[in-house]
Amino acid sequence: MWQKKSDKDLERDVKEELAFDPRVDVKAITVSAKGGVVTLSGSAPTYAAKMAASRDAERVSGVNVVVEHMDVSLPDMHARSDADLAKAVADGLRWDVEVPHDKIKTSVRDGWVTLEGTVDWQYQRAAADGAVRYLVGVKGVTNQIAVAPSLGERAIDVKQHIKDALTRSAETDAQRITVDTAAGGGVTLRGTIHSWAEREEVMRAAWATPGVRKVQDDLTYAAQ
């Protein structure tokens, strides 16, 4: 039986989850909750720690949306020039076996990294983000990489492929998820979920389907 948490209880649970993560300085973060929407404000010493805090909050039962308003305040020992960081970004992309680095363009300004280009799969887009997220000196990442499957992909029933993947997953109830497809590789996901983990699993199933270029997330959380 799912029971809706009060805003106060949700704030408490998120704070406890942040405190449980050794990567996160919970004392530097302010947590507020309203109707399942959790807002994180304050600062983090690295972009990686900032993202870790967001992920921690997303995992907490009862959290529907995380709004992140945190700044990255790099310690002096992590400061580096944009030119130095740009070289590290290029190396990081080139050294990651899942990243087609020749298809990605990068730029760095004031520690903020922008990724552009086109790849065949969503996992490659995510891998590019992960390859630069943990580099010393990164204050933020804007991932503008597009997913455009190659024309050589075999024709399949996209809707059935996704439904089959959801049926196999222990994280999801496929009967509660509706999959709609559109011309050009678009997919819209509708239905109810109970957790952020379930949402991620549904999204993973959609993006892992050959031919998918765009996924619209219209999933909602079941009444708690």
On whether residue 1 sits in a domain, the answer given is no
* Domains: count for the chain: 3
* The domain boundary residue, chosen from 147, 181, 203: 147
Q: State the pLDDT at residue 1.
A: 42
Query: Can you give the C-alpha Rg of the chain in angstroms?
Result: 19
Q: Is the same domain home to 68 and 90? A: no
For 169-196, how does the pLDDT look when each residue is reduced to its tens digit (9 = 90+)?
Answer: 877 888 889 999 888 888 999 998 888 8
Using left for φ > 0, alpha for ψ between -120 and 50, and beta otherwise, residue 111 falls in left
195-207 average pLDDT score: 87
On whether residue 165 sits in a domain, the answer given is yes
Q: E strands of 73-155, at which residues? A: 104-109, 112-119, 140-143, 146-147
For 57-74, how does the pLDDT look when each residue is reduced to its tens digit (9 = 90+)?
Answer: 998 988 888 999 999 998
Q: Is the same domain home to 136 and 109? A: yes
For 111-141, how does the pLDDT look when each residue is reduced to its tens digit (9 = 90+)?
Answer: 999 999 999 999 999 999 999 999 999 999 9
For 85-104, how does the pLDDT look when each residue is reduced to its tens digit (9 = 90+)?
Answer: 999 999 999 999 999 999 99
pLDDT over 90 percentage in the chain: 60
Domain containing 35: what range? 7-72
Asked whether the whole model's pTM tops 0.85, one would answer no
Q: Say whether pLDDT at 153 is over 70.
A: no
Q: Is the same domain home to 126 and 95? A: yes
* The domain boundary residue, chosen from 117, 147, 177: 147
Q: Can you give the CATH number for the domain in which 61 is found?
A: 3.30.300.130
Q: Is the same domain home to 106 and 64? A: no
Q: Can you give the CATH number for the domain in which 143 is found?
A: 3.30.1340.30
